[in-house]
């Protein structure tokens, strides 16, 4: 009986600690947006190409041929 009570208290303590860790993660915006960062790098290239610049500030190959 004593061992069962000890295991129940230990599991409740671990569950409470996990709940506190989860609340801390939510408050510090750890789960804010998990999908956007992996798409952001693609959006940056499209935005630069639309302005006439590519990586390194050079013009795209099509514009170099026109000049």
Q: Are residues 48 and 63 in the same domain?
A: yes
Nearest CA to 45 among 33, 53, 34?
53
Number of domains in the chain: 2
Q: What is the CA radius of gyration of the chain?
A: 26
Q: Are residues 49 and 26 in the same domain?
A: no
3-state helix, strand, coil in the chain (%, to 5): 75, 0, 25
Residue range(s) defining the domain that contains residue 67? 33-67
Q: Give pLDDT, residue 21.
A: 96
Q: Give pLDDT, residue 52.
A: 55
Please tell me whether the overall predicted TM-score, pTM, comes out greater than 0.85 for this model: no
Q: For the chain, 67 residues long, give each residue's pLDDT as a single digit of tens.
A: 899 999 999 999 999 999 999 999 999 988 777 788 777 777 765 555 555 555 555 555 555 555 5
Q: Are residues 2 and 22 in the same domain?
A: yes
């Amino acid at each position: 009986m004593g061992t069962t009570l000890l295991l129940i208290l230990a599991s409740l303590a671990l569950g409470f600690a996990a709940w506190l860790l989860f609340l801390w993660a939510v408050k510090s915006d750890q789960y804010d947006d998990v999908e956007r960062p992996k798409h952001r790098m693609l959006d940056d290239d499209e935005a630069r190409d639309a302005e006439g610049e590519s990586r390194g500030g050079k013009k795209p190959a099509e514009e170099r041929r026109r000049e």
